[in-house]
Every structure is written in structure tokens, then in C-alpha cells.
């Protein structure tokens, strides 16, 4: 099959889809990954074709408007108003890529690639919906990860999922309908479930969920349409050569604590860095600080602290004692995959949800929101993850995660659709 994968966002929104693409390629399919600029090398390293869109997410995250949107409601409203032209351009660019490629199947990251089901309709192709977070199928088991609450009761939990889905539909359906008519020549549809997918014969499309059932158990009120495969991990360590300075640091003492906030640029990186350094000193821990996308400031290295830009998590995390991070779905799964306790310092979105899940399964302490983070609180969390009970639980979850089918299982589901 000729398969197009559509996703948008930071590295955490792209890397799992590259892993899925590699699993599909291993089954003999031709795979193109279309996402924002800056990920071409990662995509092509797996033998996949890259079809970059014009947006550069890293540059976008550095703008004052997006910085404000990450942290305040007024910022989110302003960013939404200013994003209307960008949204239409993204739809047009996705259509241009698909029209040239003529895929048999479009695998899309919801809601980042929601143009897919309309493009599939125009091309008589199949659109397979996928998600990295359990946010788009209503359940009474837990509230929508978009909300900063732990439990609303079964009725309230289910209602929260429906409300978020309805809000997304109301915000986007009018724009999508106009685009369908003007660009694709399709009839108006009105409000619809944007996580439905599309298949020409009208049957329901399987929906793929790339999270671990050992972190979020599949909801008992879901139907057989939902496939929870486990996270789609990429194994990058085999081709990565660590710097000699990093190897010397690792060899010079006990396993350090990893501290990194991925694609989350800090509101005040110097302040956040000071808090981290003070907490590590107070807890008598060595640390590796990953500056990432300006989440932490570069400081002088020593026998206690090593600073790097980034490193493959599947290489580095097994060599660390614990992982301090922002709570992105990918980093959360990667840390636990290697049996390492996690301390989650969330900023926004689904990050508090993953922090609560880590705490609930016993693999780390309560999340510490970055806007309230202190050296004292972080030092206390570092002391807490030394507890044998937390370390044992993290190791148990890691072993269970590594047994999940992950990207290979998701690729098998997509294959079975073609055979049906």
C-alpha cells in the first residue's frame, strides 16, 4: 500500500509516527510522513519519504504569542484568533501533498491531521485515526486529559470528553466545511466526529491509541473499535555516538538524574535552572541537564552536573537513576519503559494528566507544576523516588511496557484493514 502519515507539532508529536512508519515499511508498504519542517533527517533515517509542510514548530514556540498561550487563557484566545490563516494554510498544504501522492491509506494524528478524513473522501482512500492521549473517545473511567482534574465521577468524566470533542468540532467544523467546498469540491457535512476516520465503503474504521495499558488501562466502556497498542517507540541508540565528555561523566560516579523539559521553552529559563541545580545539590544527586528547546539554561559542567542539548532517550535513560520532565506523553512512556521513576513538572495541556497517571500507578510522586516549582519541593521529590517501592513499581511497569506490541501492533491493525 501507499501510505501517508499526517501529524504536526513538536518532536513528541512526530517521533512516534516515524516509528509507526518504520513498522509499516517493514511490512512492505511505501510510507511518506508529512509534518512541519525540521524533522526530515529523522524521517529519512528510517527509510521513509518526508513531505514537509511550511510550519517550523520550534521557531513558532519561541514567539511571545505562543509562550503566552502556553501559560494563560487570554493567551490561548489570542493565539486562536491569530491562527485562523495558519489553519487554512495547513489544510491546503496537506491536500497538496495527498493529491500528489494519491495514497491508499492516510494515517492521521488527531487532532493535528484532521484534514485527513476529508482528503480521504475526496481521493476515495481510507483515513485511519490515531491518538497519543486517551482524550477523544468518551469514557466514564477518567476525565478528559485536557482538564486539570483527577475525577468527576463516571457521568462527569464521560461528559467532559463529549464536551471537549464538541468544542473542537464547533471551533473547526465551519472552517473545514468551507475548505471542503472551496478546495476539495465536496458537499457540506456540518458538525461531525473528527476522530471518526473515513473508509469508502462506509464501515467504521478501527481507531489506534498509542499509549500503554499499564499506565492508562483501556476503558471498559469502549468498544472493540478501539485498539490500545502501547506507545510507538523509536530506537535511535544504535546509530548514536555519545560525546566523550558524556561518557566520562557517566563513568565518574553513580547514575545521575536526568532533567529535561523537551520542547517546552521555559518562561524564565535561568530561574528554572537555578531551582534544578539547588534541588540536585540538596538531594545529593548528580544530574544531566538537557537544555532542549530552551527549557533550561546552559551552565558550566562539573563532576556533579553535565549539560547537553539532547540525546536519544533510549540510550540515555537506562543509564540514569530517575527522570525529571514536563510530562509529555512520549517522555513519560520512555522513562517508564526503562523502569525509571519519573518526576513530572507539567506546564499545560495533557501534561498534568500524565503526571497524575505516574503517581496513580506508583512510579513517581505527585506532579510538581512548573509555575509553582521550588528547589525544596523538587529535592523532596528526588528523595521520594529513592524509595524501594517506587523503584520496584517503575521496573514492573517498564517490563510490562516492553512486552506491548506498540508500533508493530498498530501496523498489523492497518494491514488487517487492507486484507478485510
Single out the residue of 304, 348, 306, 335 nearest to residue 398, CA to CA. 335
Q: Are residues 320 and 175 in the same domain?
A: no
Q: Are residues 262 and 195 in the same domain?
A: no
CA–CA dist 272, 377 (Å, integer) = 13
Q: Are residues 204 and 91 in the same domain?
A: yes
SS3 182: helix
Please state whether the predicted TM-score (pTM) of the whole model is above 0.95.
Answer: no
Q: Are residues 80 and 60 in the same domain?
A: yes
- Per-residue model confidence (pLDDT) at position 80: 47
Q: Report the 10 Å Cβ neighbour count for 418.
A: 13
Q: Are residues 337 and 252 in the same domain?
A: yes
- Per-residue model confidence (pLDDT) at position 72: 52
Q: Are residues 336 and 410 in the same domain?
A: no
- Per-residue model confidence (pLDDT) at position 417: 80
For the chain, 420 residues long, the average pLDDT of each consecutive 10-residue run is 94 94 97 95 95 75 54 47 71 96 96 90 96 93 89 93 86 86 86 79 90 95 95 83 94 96 77 95 96 78 91 94 96 96 94 96 96 96 97 98 97 83
- Per-residue model confidence (pLDDT) at position 88: 87
- Per-residue model confidence (pLDDT) at position 353: 95
Q: Which domain holds residue 343?
A: 237-402
- Per-residue model confidence (pLDDT) at position 60: 57
- Per-residue model confidence (pLDDT) at position 31: 98
SS3 345: coil
Q: Are residues 200 and 83 in the same domain?
A: yes
* Tally of residues, the chain: 420
Helical pair 375-384 and 269-282, crossing angle rounded to 10 deg: 50
Identify each DSSP E strand in 66-217 by its residue range: 105-109, 126-131, 207-209
Q: Are residues 263 and 398 in the same domain?
A: yes
CA 345 to chain centre: 15
Q: Are residues 207 and 122 in the same domain?
A: yes
Structural domains of the chain, count: 2
Q: Are residues 247 and 147 in the same domain?
A: no
Q: Are residues 347 and 255 in the same domain?
A: yes
Helix (H) or strand (E) holding 30: strand 30-34
Look up the CATH number of the domain holding residue 92.
Answer: 3.40.50.2000
Q: Are residues 200 and 76 in the same domain?
A: yes
Helical pair 11-26 and 406-419, crossing angle rounded to 10 deg: 60
CA–CA dist 210, 351 (Å, integer) = 16
Amino acid at each position: 500500500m501507499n501510505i501517508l502519515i499526517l501529524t504536526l507539532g513538536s518532536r513528541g508529536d512526530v517521533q512516534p509516527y516515524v516509528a509507526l512508519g518504520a513498522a509499516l515499511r517493514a511490512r512492505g508498504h511505501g510510507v511518506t510522513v508529512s509534518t512541519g519542517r525540521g524533522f526530515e533527517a529523522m524521517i529519512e533515517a528510517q527509510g521513509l519519504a518526508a513531505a514537509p509542510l511550511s510550519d517550523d514548530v520550534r521557531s513558532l514556540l519561541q514567539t511571545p504569542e505562543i509562550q503566552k498561550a502556553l501559560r494563560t487563557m487570554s493567551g490561548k484566545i489570542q493565539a486562536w484568533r491569530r491562527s485562523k490563516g495558519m489553519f487554512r494554510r495547513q489544510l491546503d498544504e496537506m491536500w497538496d501533498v495527498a493529491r500528489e501522492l494519491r495514497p491508499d491509506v492516510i494515517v492521521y494524528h488527531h487532532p493535528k491531521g484532521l484534514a485527513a478524513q476529508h482528503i480521504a473522501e475526496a481521493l476515495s482512500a481510507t483515513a485511519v485515526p490515531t491518538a497519543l492521549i486517551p482524550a477523544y473517545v468518551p469514557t466514564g473511567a477518567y476525565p478528559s486529559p485536557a482538564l486539570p482534574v483527577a475525577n468527576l465521577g463516571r457521568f462527569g468524566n464521560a461528559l467532559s470528553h463529549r464536551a471537549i470533542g464538541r468544542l473542537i468540532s464547533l471551533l473547526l467544523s465551519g472552517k473545514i466545511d468551507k475548505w471542503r467546498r472551496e478546495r476539495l469540491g465536496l458537499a457540506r457535512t456540518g458538525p461531525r466526529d473528527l476522530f471518526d476516520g473515513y473508509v469508502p465503503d462506509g464501515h467504521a474504521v478501527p481507531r489506534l491509541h498509542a499509549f500503554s495499558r499499564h499506565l492508562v488501562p483501556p476503558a471498559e466502556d469502549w468498544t472493540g473499535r478501539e485498539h490500545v497498542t502501547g506507545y510507538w517507540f523509536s530506537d535511535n541508540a544504535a546509530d548514536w555516538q555519545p560525546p566523550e565528555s558524556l561518557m566520562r561523566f557517566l563513568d565518574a560516579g553513580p547514575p545521575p538524574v536526568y532533567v529535561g523539559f523537551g520542547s517546552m521553552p521555559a518562561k524564565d529559563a535561568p530561574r528554572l535552572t537555578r531551582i534544578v541545580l539547588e534541588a540536585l545539590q540538596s538531594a545529593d544527586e548528580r544530574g544531566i541537564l538537557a537544555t532542549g528547546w530552551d527549557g533550561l539554561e546552559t551552565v558550566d559542567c562539573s563532576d556533579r552536573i553535565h549539560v547537553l542539548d539532547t540525546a536519544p532517550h533510549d540510550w540515555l535513560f537506562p543509564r540514569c537513576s530517575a527522570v525529571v520532565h514536563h510530562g509529555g506523553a512520549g517522555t513519560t512512556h520512555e522513562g517508564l519503559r526503562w523502569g525509571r521513576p519519573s518526576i513530572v513538572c507539567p506546564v499545560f495541556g495533557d501534561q498534568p494528566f500524565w503526571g497524575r497517571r505516574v503517581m496513580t500507578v506508583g512510579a513517581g510522586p505527585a506532579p510538581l507544576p512548573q509555575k509553582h516549582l521550588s528547589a525544596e519541593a523538587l529535592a523532596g521529590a528526588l528523595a521520594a523516588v529513592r524509595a524501594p517501592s517506587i523503584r520496584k513499581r517503575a521496573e514492573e511497569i517498564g517490563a510490562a511496557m516492553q512486552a506491548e506490541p506498540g508500533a508493530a501492533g498498530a501496523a498489523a491493525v492497518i494491514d488487517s484493514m487492507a486484507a478485510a
